[in-house]
């Protein structure tokens, strides 16, 4: 906020200075214009009364001079604007960079396997987390378990490129080898998912009207339809971030629906149902796990019934895989 206020103040001062400079330049130009035309009118009047030119020549000269002088004034004004923004345009040009287009756009659809090899992250305070070699194949439903502090959420951030490992390698591969994947195409439901000012529908579609029909289905997939039926505007209900008109469970359902609507083939869910009651969680998981998407989910306190719904589980202990079982 402090940086924004300083920048805003600097912008205001620059805008005022620019306006002042342009106004002064316009006044000076207009003054010279007026002075020139007055001098020319006096000269024409003198010549007329001396009988050296006719009255029509006086009027023609005045009209011609007015056109020329006004054009010069306009030219000077525009030139001042160009000169006053030259330095700014140069700075903007210097800031411009070519957009790096990731190869294999939508390459998430080609991922056959996720490989984690010798992965580790060292923190500035000396702490470190290391991970065992892991593989997740396309279409698998994997449950990631472990006590707090064992690096589950950190693992997701490393996979998604939000953190850079200090050792090891994370690879998305297909049948021919490593893929260059745009991490933004990988679905991710964070513990503290963000909602935006707008309707529930907007928060699901991320303001893309083409996805409105899918949003209606996603509401049912995540068992949100019963919640929004209580709102008069239903899916068009505004998300009020100040009044906090949604429960924690409803927020999580909206974020899960968002992940489903955008149809990513790989989906990483970090405690995405922690605020949802057990019965609703069963319905949500049932719909999620029956899709052909690859799902890796972090969860705590799941019942054996929910755990057994996954293909296998990986249990982390101090950043190591203490157990990896097929269920």
Residue 52, number of CB atoms within 10 A of its CB: 10
The residue ranges of the chain whose pLDDT is under 50 are 326-327
| pTM of this structure | 0.64
Q: What is the pLDDT of residues 40-52, one digit of tens each?
A: 888 888 888 888 8
The strand ranges marked E within 200-305 are: 238-239, 266-270, 294-298
What is the predicted pLDDT for the residue at 105? 53
For residue 319, the model assigns a pLDDT of 54
Interaxial angle between packed helices 212-221 and 248-261, expressed in degrees from 0 to 180 and rounded to the nearest 10: 130
Backbone angles phi, psi at 223, to 5 degrees: 60, 35
pLDDT of 148: 81
According to the model, what pLDDT value does residue 106 have? 54
Please write down the long-range contacts of 177-185, taking CB distance under 8 Å and 24 or more positions apart: 179/104, 179/107, 179/110, 179/111, 180/102, 180/103, 180/104, 180/107, 181/102, 181/104, 181/107, 181/108, 181/111, 182/102, 182/105, 182/107, 182/108, 185/106, 185/107, 185/108, 185/264
């Amino acid at each position: 906020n402090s940086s924004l206020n300083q920048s805003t103040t600097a912008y205001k001062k620059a805008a005022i200075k620019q306006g002042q400079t342009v106004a002064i330049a316009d006044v000076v130009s207009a003054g010279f214009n007026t002075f020139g035309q007055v001098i020319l009118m006096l000269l024409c009047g003198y010549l007329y009364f001396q009988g050296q030119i006719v009255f029509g020549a006086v009027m023609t000269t005045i009209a011609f001079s007015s056109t020329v002088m006004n054009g010069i004034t306009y030219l000077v004004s525009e030139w001042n604007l160009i000169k006053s923004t030259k330095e700014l345009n140069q700075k903007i040009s210097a800031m411009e960079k070519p957009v790096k287009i990731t190869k294999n756009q939508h390459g998430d659809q080609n991922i056959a396997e996720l490989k984690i090899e010798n992965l580790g992250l060292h923190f500035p305070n000396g702490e470190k987390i290391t991970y065992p070699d892991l593989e997740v194949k396309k279409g698998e439903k994997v449950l990631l378990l472990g006590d707090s502090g064992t690096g589950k959420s950190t693992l997701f951030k490393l996979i998604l490129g939000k953190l850079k490992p200090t050792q090891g390698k994370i690879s998305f591969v297909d049948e021919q080898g490593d893929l260059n994947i745009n991490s933004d195409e990988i679905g991710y439901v964070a513990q503290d998912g963000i909602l935006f000012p707008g309707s529930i529908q907007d928060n699901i579609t991320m303001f893309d009207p083409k996805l409105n029909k899918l949003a209606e289905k996603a509401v049912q997939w995540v068992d949100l339809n019963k919640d929004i039926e209580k709102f008069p505007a239903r899916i068009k209900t505004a998300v009020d971030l100040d009044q906090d008109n949604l429960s924690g469970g409803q927020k999580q359902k909206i974020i899960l629906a968002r992940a489903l609507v955008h149809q990513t083939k790989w989906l990483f869910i970090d405690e995405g149902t922690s605020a949802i009651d057990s019965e609703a969680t069963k319905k949500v998981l049932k719909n999620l796990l029956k899709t052909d998407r690859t799902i890796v989910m972090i969860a705590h306190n799941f019942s054996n019934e929910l755990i057994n719904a996954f293909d296998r589980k990986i249990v982390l202990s101090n950043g190591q895989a203490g157990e990896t079982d097929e269920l």
